[in-house]
Structure 1
Amino acid sequence: MAEAYKDQEFVEYAVKALVNHPEDVRTERTVDDRGVLITLHINQDDMGYIIGRQGQTARALRILLKTVGAKENARVNLKIFEPDELRREHQERKSQSVGGSATHGEAGMVTDQDLADLGI
């Protein structure tokens, strides 16, 4: 990270405290006319820790990040990067372990719509 930004440092600090592979945590910060977007890259094994049950951890991180950004008069958003093929593989494995008969939503799993609602 060439220049230190409080919002980006906050995300890295908080996420590294939550995951099992803190060495794999990295962020990308982009600024455009809509504000600041921080894209979070983590080890795929840690995805569940960051999203949390029903997206609660991700939602909490976003709320705290918006508060950090508000102190600097910036609109800050967080995107959790997950390659499409890994998401598809994960959903297929989970549906097989549940028995394959229930859909993701019925099995208590996070659905694609849940992730879209969270902006993930």
Structure 2
Amino acid sequence: MKDLILTIVKPLVDHPDAVSIEMEEGPNGMTYKLSVHPEDMGKVIGKQGRVAKSIRTVVYAAAGSSQQKKIFLEIVE
């Protein structure tokens, strides 16, 4: 799942080396925390959060029913 998120996000940003993902496993599911360079935050979120919503949609669809736990994607500063 990490590779999928990186494949989607890296072409969007100006600083692809600053993209990092941390994974936390909790009782509710697995949370992927995406952090990017501060200058690229707007590109990842998009107008009214449209890009972020699209990224989440693709990640959730890829996880589908193959995962026993729910997947969450957070964009952190």
1:50-99 deviation digits (Å, cap 9, x = unpaired): 000000000001111101111522411111112xxxxxxxxxxxxxxxxx
Structure 1 counterpart of 2:56 = 62
Q: CA deviation at 1:13?
A: 1.2
Q: Normalization by structure 2: what TM-score?
A: 0.91
Structure 1 counterpart of 2:30 = 36
* Residue identity matched to 1:81: V
> How many equivalent pairs are there?
76
- State the structure with more CA Rg: 1
* Residue identity matched to 1:48: G
Aligned equivalents of 1:59, 1:69: Cα separation in 2: 15
More strand by share: 2
From 52, 55, 75, the counterpart of 2:70:
75
Aligned equivalents of 2:20, 2:64: Cα separation in 1: 22
Q: Could you say which structure has the greater relative contact order, defined with CA pairs below 8 angstroms and 6 or more residues apart?
A: 2
Structure 2 counterpart of 1:9 = 3
* Residue identity matched to 2:59: L
Q: Normalization by structure 1: what TM-score?
A: 0.60
Aligned equivalents of 2:38, 2:2: Cα separation in 1: 20
RMSD of aligned residue pairs (Cα, Å): 1.1
